[in-house]
Amino acid sequence: MKTLFQDSSKGRTGVWPKEPKGNTEADIPAYLLRDTAPKLPELSEIDVIRHFTRLSRLNYSVDSNFYPLGSCTMKYNPKFTEAVAAQPGFTNLHPLIPQLKGAGHMTQGALEVLYETEQLLGEITGMSAFTLQPMAGAHGELTGVMLMAAYHNDKGNRKTKIIVPDSAHGTNPASAAIAGYDVVSIQSKNGMIDPDELEKVLDDEVAGLMMTCPNTLGLFECGLERIVKLVHGVDGLLYYDGANLNAIMGKMRVGDVGFDVVHLNLHKTFATPHGGGGPGSGPVGVSQRLVDYLPISRVVKLEDGQYYLNYDYPKSIGYIAPFYGNFGVILKAYAYILRLGREGIVRATENAVLAANYLRKRIEEHLEIPHDRICMHEFVASAAKQAEKGVRALDIAKALLDKGHYAPTIYFPLIVKECLMFEPTETESKETLDGFVDDLIEILGRVETDPQSIHDAPVTTPVQRLDEVRAARSMELVDDAGL
Amino acid sequence: MPFIPHTPEEQREMLAAIGVDSIEALFEDIPAKFRAGDLNLPSGLSEMEVRQKLEKTAARNHTDLTSFLGAGFYDHYIPSAVDALCSRGEFYTAYTPYQAEASQGMLQAIFEYQTAVARLMDLEYANASLYDGGTALYEAIMMAVRHTRRSRIVISESVNPIYRVMLDSYTTNLKLDLVTVPHKDCNTDMDALLAALNDDTAAVIVQNPNFFGTVQDFTALFDKAREHKIVSVISTYPVMQSILKTPGRMGADIAVAEGQSLGLPLSFGGPYLGIMACNKQLIRQMPGRIAGRTVDKNGKTGFVLTLQAREQHIRREKATSNICSNQALCALRALMYMSLLGPQGLKKTAQVGIERAHYAANRLERLPGVRVVNQPFGNEFTVKLPVRAYEVIDKLLDMKFVPGFPLGRYYQGMDNHLLVACTEKTTKQCIGILAELIGGAL
């Protein structure tokens, strides 16, 4: 498909809000102005509509395809939450209004949304307080690690290291490093954190441990209780990566277990759409001993039911976002939680775990599952045996695209060879799961009979396998059309 | 139960296939002592009830205001086509385009967005987006620190203070030396900035138009920075960038911006859009996703995420940034907005805002004791009032007017200064009323 720039016709116009007088040089001297207008596409409105409508059809999405992308919780995104967030009473609200003296009453609805969402997330996780400001999961991680650093600095602890298991999401070590810590990686044993291995690297310089539970293999960490004790034993803090919260929501509260910091991904567990790569939202919850360090501002509810923004927290890590987080995303998650309620939250988790185990059971005879036991919301299979015959995890993923399914996560976690990570979520029907497995079985059958057809896949997509090496080498990162 | 398709019978079939007799049996790994009791949450509501409840909540926000509030976040008109296109589920319910063959729509859109941003900024490259203008500025600093292996950052006080306080938080534990150079009567102080540059400096950071609205040329500053091998970073306002001298022409290495003005609603602070463009030399230090054009095995043009060796899922603790989810849908909106307006539409939008602001400045300056402080300015300017800005705002709020932003909130000794923004949505009639109301409040 042509790009917008290739489609551009000089002089064609789209939407102009208003006609200026046009004598800008009278207001701003010419040497401060640009020489020529930016070479943006010149299109009519229907050109633009057709271009993007056609582009949209080239995408797989939850609305059009099963999307078992492990670790990403691609559940259905309810449409009423979009309608809620699109209300002008929310979208037209300038974020600086509540910072004006005398305007406190003008944003009470928005502040209530923030306050109530914090309360609901606090109840679901068992954490003492939340900030909704982080704008994605990784941003929540960075905020969480900054909170840990603030705690240790305040106590006068000299801490330099953060421990991250080798099964962790790549964002964990990256976030710890960016916050200024040395990252210590520990090896998993049977897919779990090995408390003995953890004990070996624990010393007084350890600021904390970042972990995911269930872990990225979809397994509940059986040494959890001992891990918590060990880390707290050196005055380390326990960080919970909430990417997998959909496995335990309503069944276990991480705060009750002893975690000190948790980030959630509202765009996973709480059904807000991923938007093709954001916007997400990564609220951070903390245990009582970290509450003083939370970012400012914080929403406070007064006895008369009014809300206000409080900036007076001397120990706070300060500002991590321009305002109050990705408010539009938070709104959708809030609406989703209100819709599900006490019962619905638990049922979501139960059916997510049910679907994952059903899928695991149906797949296990056809694809090796290295840790084949009851899993939580996702599981990891390995195509190592198929790879011996030349068909790799990547090939299987591509062949699934031809069947109209998005692919599972591949080559993550790094601790399983040729891995495929499946997360069906609670919103997919048994027929969808069965259809997917039938298609997978058909593909795996061809490993013996017609491996070339798998290597050739995908053939039904708008393009076939793309040359990534060429992309990296030629660095064609912008269009040169119309210059 | 909402959104769960399984009937009780299907659940039984699935449990039988798994070989357990209850859903509870799937949770046996969670130790009994850690099991949660009933959550103290309200009962679920129907869709209709949630919408009714949140309609009432929305009604408690005052959005029927005539507002001259900007301060980096502007109320521009959003063409109807943007919402129509952006609400296609094929866009908003997709994930980050890991499987390129099944994500060509998003990947091509990112490529086009990168192109539009690079052309707007007049720099070689742009990334697929960052969270917002503030985190984009922080990432730009980190690029400069890695590139130069230096730790001293020189920043003008006229850079948006909302971003500068964020930089304070992010750099606390990083052994960076953040040197803030004071503004001079709402101008970015070029002489003081030039004097502050030295061979230990990693980056110099300015904003155009600056926080007070002043438009300046930073070519000389960036020339001097280049002599010292310092990375020049400029924070900009994308709509105004359609008419103002470009970062590229001034010799900037990195341009960042809050992209909210490009078709995103104000939405109480987010989701917004972190824009970043850079020159060739810095591309491998760039954080975040980048799409590139290539061919498939039949030679057909297609798009992929590229240069991924910079990223956290490959490099872990050695990555250029920890960013994973960015603001893809917001970038898509910005691209749609720019395509619908085109170069002329965007320029006209900027021009109308500039004309309105100059009209407003003119009207306000006629009031006794009121002085417009900066010159030249774009669609936003600073006035000094004979009384405290807060008092004027307080009085006008009762009339549903927000006359601007009180600069005393962030700048000492500027309690009487008011920052006033106009856009193409601001009418002359409203400006007339504003002038009358402020006149009455003095």
A38-42, A99-103, A345-349, A428-432: least confident range: A99-103
- Tell me the Cα Rg of chain A: 25
Report the Cα–Cα distance between both ends of chain B, in Å, rounded: 60
Answer for the pair A276, B106: CB distance below 8 angstroms, yes or no.
yes
A418: left (phi over 0), alpha (psi -120 to 50) or beta: left
Q: How far is A260 from chain B (nearest CA, A)?
A: 15
DSSP string for B212-266: T-B----HHHHHHHHHTTPEEEEEE-TTGGGTBPPHHHHT-SEEEEEGGGTT---
Tell me what pLDDT residue B320 has. 86
From residue A144, how far is each of A149, A359, B174 by CA, in Å?
Answer: 9, 34, 16
Strand ranges, E, within B270-325: 274-278, 291-295, 301-305
Of A169, A234, A171, which is closest to residue A198 (Cα–Cα)?
A234
pLDDT band of residue B319 (cuts 50, 70, 90) is confident
Residue A337: partners with Cβ closer than 8 Å, 6 or more residues away: A117, A120, A124, A270, A345, B41
- Whether the CB of A236 is below 8 Å from some CB of chain B: the reply is no
Mean pLDDT of chain A, nearest integer: 96
pLDDT tens by residue, B93-122: 999 999 999 999 999 999 999 999 999 999
Chain B contact set for A407 (CB, 8 A) = 98-99, 102
**Residue A238: is it exposed, middle or buried by C-beta count within 10 angstroms (0-12/13-18/19+)?**
buried
Q: How far apart are CA B64 and CA B73, in angstroms?
A: 18
DSSP string for B186-204: TB--HHHHHHH--TTEEEE
Mean pLDDT of chain B, nearest integer: 97
Give ranges for CATH 3.90.1150.10 in chain B: 66-76+342-441
Q: How far is A385 from chain B (nearest CA, A)?
A: 23
Tell me what pLDDT residue A13 has. 86
Residues 189-208 on A with a CB inside 8 Å of B are none
Mean pLDDT of B312-323: 86
Structure tokens at A258: 């002893």
Mean pLDDT of B246-273: 98
- Tell me the Cα Rg of chain B: 25
Tell me what pLDDT residue A14 has. 86
Is residue B317 scored above 90 in pLDDT? no
- Whether the CB of B195 is below 8 Å from some CB of chain A: the reply is no
Is residue A2 scored above 90 in pLDDT? yes
pLDDT tens by residue, A137-168: 999 999 999 999 999 999 999 999 999 999 88
Query: What secondary structure letter does DSSP report for A249?
Result: T
Which residue type does B59 have? A
Residue A327: partners with Cβ closer than 8 Å, 6 or more residues away: A90, A95, A110, A113, A114, B267, B268, B269, B270, B271
**Which residue in this structure is represented by tokens 């938070």?**
A330
Q: Where are the domains of chain A?
A: 81-339, 343-469
Asked if the interface predicted TM-score (ipTM) of this complex is over 0.95, the answer is yes
Tell me what pLDDT residue B204 has. 98
Of A72, A77, A95, A74, which is closest to residue A327 (Cα–Cα)?
A95
Give ranges for CATH 3.40.640.10 in chain B: 80-337
Tell me what pLDDT residue B330 has. 98
Buried b (16+ CB within 10 A) or exposed e, A196-209: eebeeebeeebbbb
pLDDT tens by residue, B81-92: 999 999 999 999
Chain CA centroid to CA A235, Å: 29
For domain A343-469, give the fold. Answer: Aspartate Aminotransferase, domain 1 (3.90.1150)
Is residue A191 scored above 90 in pLDDT? no
- Whether the CB of B161 is below 8 Å from some CB of chain A: the reply is no
Answer for the pair B280, A445: CB distance below 8 angstroms, yes or no.
no
pLDDT band of residue A18 (cuts 50, 70, 90) is confident
Residues 311-350 on A with a CB inside 8 Å of B are 317-329, 331, 334-335, 337-348, 350
Mean pLDDT of B406-426: 98
Tell me what pLDDT residue A23 has. 86
B430 has which bridge partners?
none
CATH of B66-76+342-441, one of 3.40.50.150, 2.40.40.20, 3.30.300.30, 3.90.1150.10: 3.90.1150.10
Cα-Cα-Cα-Cα torsion A243, A248, A252, A253, nearest 10 degrees, comes to 30
- Of all residues in chain A, what percent carry a pLDDT higher than 90? 94
Mean pLDDT of A399-419: 96
pLDDT tens by residue, A293-316: 999 999 999 999 999 999 999 999
pLDDT tens by residue, B323-371: 888 999 999 999 999 999 999 999 999 999 999 999 999 999 999 999 9
Is residue A17 scored above 90 in pLDDT? no
Residues 267-286 on A with a CB inside 8 Å of B are 267, 271, 273-280
- Whether the CB of A37 is below 8 Å from some CB of chain B: the reply is yes
Which residue type does A60 have? Y
Tell me what pLDDT residue B1 has. 82
Tell me the CATH number for domain A81-339.
3.40.640.10
Does the domain at residues B80-337 carry the CATH identifier 2.40.30.60?
Answer: no
pLDDT band of residue B318 (cuts 50, 70, 90) is confident
Mean pLDDT of B11-36: 96
A241 has which bridge partners?
A263
- Whether the CB of B8 is below 8 Å from some CB of chain A: the reply is no
